[in-house]
Structures are given as C-alpha cells and as structure tokens.
C-alpha cells in the first residue's frame, strides 16, 4: 500500500497518514549503489524500497518513475564523490525520497526536473559543488524537514510553480540561501542561517514566505522581484543589507520582526504594496525607506534607527498609525517634491 503524496502537502495532513513505512516494502537494500539503482529501475508503481546500506557511493538516478517511495534508515549516506549529483530525479510522478544524507554532489546535491508530485522529506544535503537542491519545472514539489548545508551555490534553487518548502533549514550557502523563480511557491516555518548572498529571493507571482527565521546573511534577508508576494510573520535578525528589499508591485509585508539589519529595515522600491504592523528595531540605516509611490504603510513601528525612522523621497504614499522613536536623525524624513504623501494618526517625535 503506497502512502499518499497528500501526506506531505501540509502539517495538517501529515498526522492521519501514518508513518512513511506504512507500505509493504518491495525490496530491502543492504548492498551498494548498483543494487539500489537496480531496485529503482525495476520497481513498479506503488512499491516501497527500504535502504539500510550505511554508505552508498556515486549518484542515484530516477527517470520516469511513478508512485515509488524510497526510505533510508538512519545513517544512510549517499557520497557522490564530487563526480555526479547525489540524486537525480527526472520526469517522475508521485515519487517520495525519505531520510537520506547526500554529500559532495557535482554539480548539485539533488537535481530535480520535470514531472509532478515529487517529495523529499528529512533529507540532508551537504557540500554540493553548486546548488544543494535544484528543481526545474516540477509541479507540486514538496520539501519537508530537509536541510542544506555548505552549498557551493544556492542552497535551494527553484524554477518551478506551486512548490512547498516546510520546516527546512539552509545554512552557510556560498550564494543565496533560497532562490525562487516561479509562481505560487510557499516557504513555511523554514530557517535560513548565514550565507554569502541573500536569504530568500522571490521572483514571480503570488509567492509566500511565512513564519520563517532568517539570520546572518551578508545581503538582504528577503528580496522581492516579482508581483503579489506575501511576507508574513517572519523573524529577521543580523543580516548585512536590508531586512526586506521589495521591488516589483502588489506585495503584502505584514507582522514581521526585523532587528539589527545592516542597512534599512524595509526598503520599498515597489508600488501598490501594503506594509502592515511590522516591528523594526536598530536598523543601521532607515527603518522604512520609501523610494516609490503608491504604497500604504499602516501601524508599523521603528525604534533606534541609525538614520531616519521613516524616510520618504517620493510622494503618493499613505501613512496611517505608524510610529517611530529614538531615531539617530529624524523619526520622519519627507523630502518628496511635490509633497503628496498623506499622514493620519502617526506618532513621530522628531521631524
């Protein structure tokens, strides 16, 4: 009996589905990578393969597989040896990979392309030469409780629509931690630590990052390049550039806690965006820096900004119920010309 892929589409669906090993194993692999590859190549839809070999050398390839679940027991590691990607999934449907540690992939730890309904759960990818996990054109991809560490490129790069990343961790990537190009992708309760690039880049329509923790990136924690993104209830701490750098249009940036950013707490270089109830503390530069018009700022608070609490260089923005205090320069700096910003019920001590 194959466990439905729906088990991986959200926390609420996980509990009633039972354990991943509820299916009847078609094979138990204790041998080398060749034995595992042979079992994969001969598997039928609905089969479950259990792997107990502690060390597997080379790369595992799944091509055109359907309805297959592969479960690694604790301690199973694929060492790609710096010669191939540790895991390649191409044109597969409803395939689930559970519990593997994948190291030293070249170019990638896991390379996923085409197909739909691919899920990786509780997998750890370490030391990929380029991206830790790369996914292109794979509909309904799910990454659940996965970790990517020390990737030589991006931690996770998605060029796909409708993916869901939940409770994943990306640590110390050489480029961006998570780079998303596509529509309707969701990051939920993920952790992003360190890294030489940005934390999360969302480039597409209606992408969402919610309840994530981002700390210590050298560049922006969250960068918006598309339209209609939602940035909700995230915690951002000690990144090198802006907390949220918003280009594009039509975003909703709400209820985020942003502390000790290297530049602005929130930078708006976008239009038609709602910025609501964010709390910004000790940004090195401005709390909220508004460089474009047509945005709505409501009930945001800024304290101890290194420059201005709110800095508006253009007009046609609406500020309602915001407050700033203890800014190094001004709580509100409005240099727009013509002065067409509107203000209602704000509390700024120094203007």
pLDDT of residue 2: 37
Query: Residue 36, SS3?
Result: helix
Of 114, 139, 170, which marks where a domain is finished? 170
Task: Decide if 115 contacts 92 (C-beta within 8 A).
Answer: yes
Task: Decide which of 140, 170, 200 is a domain's last residue.
Answer: 170
Q: Which of 123, 148, 170 is at the close of a domain?
A: 170
- Regarding whether 151 and 206 lie in a shared domain, the answer is no
> What backbone phi and psi angles, to 5 degrees, belong to 33?
-60, -35
Q: Helices (H), strands (E): how many in the chain?
A: 2, 42
pTM for the model stands at 0.91
Per-residue pLDDT 10s for the chain (351 aa) are 333 333 333 333 333 333 334 455 668 999 999 999 999 999 999 999 999 998 999 999 999 999 999 999 999 999 999 999 999 999 999 999 999 999 999 999 999 999 999 999 999 999 999 999 999 999 999 999 999 999 999 999 999 999 999 999 999 999 999 999 999 999 999 999 999 999 999 999 999 999 999 999 999 999 999 999 999 999 999 999 999 999 999 999 999 999 999 999 999 999 999 999 999 999 999 999 999 999 999 999 999 999 999 999 999 999 999 999 999 999 999 999 888 999 999 999 866
pLDDT score of 25: 62
- Which domain, by its residues, includes 12? 1-170
Residue 236: per-residue pLDDT: 98
Same domain, yes or no, for 144 and 211?
no
Give residue 85's pLDDT.
98
**Two structure tokens written together for 273:** 């965006």
Query: Both 284 and 183 in a single domain?
Result: yes
State whether 69 and 90 are in the same domain: yes
Whether residue 165 sits in one domain with residue 94: yes
One domain for residues 165 and 180: no
On whether both 291 and 350 belong to a single domain, the answer is yes
Q: Report cis status (omega within 30 of 0) of the bond before 107.
A: yes
Q: What is the pLDDT of residue 22?
A: 43
Sequence-distant (6+) residues with CB within 8 A of 107 are: 85, 128, 129, 130, 131, 153
Q: How many domains does the chain have?
A: 2
- Looking at the fold, whether 105 and 205 belong to one and the same domain comes out as no
Do 165 and 297 have their domain in common?
A: no
Same structural domain for residues 145 and 96?
yes
Q: Are residues 215 and 159 in the same domain?
A: no
* Helix (H), strand (E) at residue 339: none
Task: Count Cβ atoms below 10 Å from residue 339 Cβ, excluding itself.
Answer: 10
Asked if 149 and 181 sit in the same domain, the reply is no
CATH number of the domain to which 322 belongs: 2.160.20.10
């Amino acid at each position: 009996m194959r466990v439905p892929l729906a088990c991986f589409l959200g926390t609420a669906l996980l509990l009633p589905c039972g354990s991943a090993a509820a299916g009847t194993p078609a094979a138990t692999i204790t041998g080398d990578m060749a034995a595992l590859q042979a079992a994969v190549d001969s598997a039928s839809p609905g089969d479950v393969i259990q792997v107990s070999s502690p060390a597997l050398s080379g790369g595992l390839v799944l091509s055109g597989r359907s309805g297959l679940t592969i479960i690694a027991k604790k301690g199973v590691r694929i060492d790609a040896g710096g010669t191939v990607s540790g895991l390649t999934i191409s044109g597969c449907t409803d395939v689930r990979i559970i519990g593997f540690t994948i190291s030293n992939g070249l170019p990638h730890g896991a390379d996923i392309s085409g197909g739909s309904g691919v899920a990786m759960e509780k997998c750890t990818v370490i030391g990929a030469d380029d991206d830790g996990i790369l996914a292109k054109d794979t509909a309904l991809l799910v990454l659940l409780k996965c970790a990517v560490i020390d990737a030589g490129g991006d931690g996770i790069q998605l060029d796909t629509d409708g993916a869901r990343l939940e409770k994943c961790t990306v640590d110390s990537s050489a480029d961006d931690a998570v780079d998303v190009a596509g529509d309707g992708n969701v990051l939920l309760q993920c952790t992003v630590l360190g890294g030489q690039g940005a934390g999360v880049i969302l480039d597409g329509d209606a992408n969402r990052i919610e309840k994530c923790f981002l700390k210590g990136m050298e560049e922006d924690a969250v960068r918006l390049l598309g339209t209609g993104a939602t940035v909700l209830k995230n915690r951002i701490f000690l990144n090198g550039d802006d907390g949220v750098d918003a280009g594009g249009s039509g975003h909703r940036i709400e209820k985020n806690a942003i502390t000790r950013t290297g530049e602005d707490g929130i930078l708006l270089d976008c239009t038609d965006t709602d910025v609501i109830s964010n709390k910004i503390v000790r940004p090195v530069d401005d709390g909220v820096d508004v460089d474009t018009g047509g945005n709505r700022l409501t009930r945001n608070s800024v304290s101890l900004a290194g420059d201005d609490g709110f800095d508006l260089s253009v007009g046609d923005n609406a500020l309602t119920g915001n407050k700033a205090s203890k800014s190094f320069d001004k709580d509100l700096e409005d240099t727009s010309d013509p002065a067409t910003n509107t203000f209602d019920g704000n509390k700024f001590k120094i203007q």
